[in-house]
Structure 1
Amino acid sequence: MGITTTRDGAIALVTIDHPPVNALPVRGWFDLARAVREAGEDQSVHVVVLRAEGRGFCAGVDIKELADDPDHTALVGVNRGCAAAFGAVYDCAVPVVAAVHGFCLGGGVGLVGSADVIIASDDATFGLPEVDRGALGAATHLARLVPQHLLRALYFTARTVGAQELHRHGSVLDVVTRDELDKAALAVAGEVAAKDARVIRAAKEALNGIDPQPVRRSYRFEQGFTYEMTLLGAGGEARQRFVQGDR
């Protein structure tokens, strides 16, 4: 359990496995960042597949860890950890294919929105419950998945959107059954892995270089408002309501 890396030829599979809902604590985000970064640095790896075990892809951060955080050390840690993990996916030297099933919430959207290709199962849902948790963040990454006005509606209401709708917007490449998800992700990864790795690595760097959105900077800007909400008391109150089950 935790974050593991396995190989399928030139494809590295980085797996999130943190029961019950893949809500990662501070250490988990840094472990994930390290795994993705190391996979990209390995010259024998041509593609990374980011996947998960369990009920869903990722439920974001471990709210219980944040709720029991009198000096805000965990809040600072998880914000830095998320930034590190999202940045590792975005900056990975090789393309990252995200294989998403079930729920993909909060930090899960940050990971997927940082990836290069998304394959989703037909039960996958995506959303940012940040407003309901007294925090802000990952709108930067949701903006890479949906149009602007839908982004705002989803953000303000904390609603989720399904894989089929993201497929219609073009952000999800393929929607498959859950049983076929790993196979479909590996098939796309295999297509990329078959190319000249020197060209693919250069292509990844080139595409990041022409990206109109300053992903790292805009996400850190968002995170500043999470600190404000904590200082105002709204953040702590929301996290306590979540832990107590009053959502």
Structure 2
Amino acid sequence: MMNHTNTSQDILIREDRQGAVYLTLNRPEKFNTLSEAMLSALQHELDAIAVNTAARCVVIGGNGRGFCAGHDLKEMRSNPDQAYYQALFRNCSRLMQSVVALPIPVIAKVHGMATAAGCQLVASCDLAIAGRSASFAVSGINVGLFCSTPAVALSRCIPTKKAFDMLISGEFIDAKAALEKGLVSDICEDAELDTTVAAKVAQILAKSPAAVRYGKSMFHSQRQMDLADAYDFAGNVMAENMLNPDAQEGIDAFLNKRKPVWGQPGH
């Protein structure tokens, strides 16, 4: 079953495919820049997905020649006001945190360019799969604007010196370099991007919905803790997970050499 929902005058396209939600940025003539309207549309969909227990995975992609070229600079220049900029970056930061906080995995499907806040969106996703010709940059420095908010996501995604080098140089890196740095989790031939993403989605959908939700929440939470607190927290989460019917079903199925039958998220 596939449901299509167009929002904000087609600026964002949503498709629901048997537990996977596909969100497609749809400003191809503007390289899918994150205008105020785009940020609002994305936030609306993520908020809805967060409370939808039927949703089990999200894929964010873009139409046209590239994934996302970051903020809409023309829109920004037409509003030269500090309060406006603070609100804009606050809304963008909220969106990026919503991606991380979403209880299910989020995959960036990247083709073409992912620059500035577009690269930030890639870094914020749990997984990122890129076509071989994709390119990445946090290039605000080239127009006199250090990519400060993208730096938050980037520095939590790739090693410190690699992140700062990208931020201070503004240089583009290709998909192979992005894979080596850890900005993306996989690369493939451009023509295979859809099928590679679909295979990853199928892999996630084959797992216990409850276990995936436990795992997404635990993984990001423990990264902010010191080692001892992280182990205490993870042990408590795992104990709770063990009492979930899916874990009991999965272990019984393994012991009895049969395929498990998963239930609902329940968490």
Q: What TM-score range do you get, normalising by the shorter chain?
A: 0.7 to 0.9
- The residue number in structure 1 matching 2:26 is 17
Superposed CA RMSD: 1.7
**How much does 1:167 deviate?**
1.6
Are residues 143 and 71 of structure 1, via their aligned partners in 2, closer, same or farther at CA, if it must alter by over 3 Å?
closer
Equivalence for 1:185: 197
Cα deviation, 1:24-74, whole Å, max 9, x if unaligned, reads 211211211221232232111111111111111100000001111143454
**Aligned 1:150-189 pairs, distance under 5 A:** 150-189=162-201
Cα separation, partners in 2 of 1:103 and 1:112, compared to 1, 3 Å: same
1:199 is aligned to 2:208: no
Gaps of 5+ in 1: 214-247
CA contact (8 A) 1:27 1:81 kept: no
> Given the two structures, how large is their TM-score scaled by the length of structure 1?
0.81
Q: 1:23 to 1:171 in 2, by over 3 A?
A: closer
Q: Is 1:27 the counterpart of 2:28 in the alignment?
A: no
Counterpart position of 2:118: 108
- Bigger Rg, which one: 2
Figure out how many residues of one structure are paired with residues of the other and give that number.
Answer: 213
- For residues 70-109 of structure 1, the aligned pairs below 5 Å read 70-72=80-82, 74-109=84-119
Please list every run of at least 4 consecutive aligned residues from structure 1 whose deviation after the TM superposition is greater than 6 angstroms. Answer: none
Secondary structure of the equivalent of 2:109?
Answer: strand
One-letter identity of the residue aligned with 2:202: G
TM-score by length of structure 2 reads 0.75
Among 48, 51, 72, the alignment partner of 1:41 is 51
* Corresponding residue for residue 53 of structure 1: 63
- The residue that corresponds to 2:223 in the other structure is 211
Aligned residues with identical type, % of pairs: 25
Q: Which has the higher contact order (CA 8 A, sep 6+)?
A: 1
Deviates more, 1:166-175 or 1:79-88: 166-175
| Corresponding residue for residue 219 of structure 1 | none
Instruction: State the one-letter code of the partner of 1:143.
Output: S
SS at match of 1:51: strand
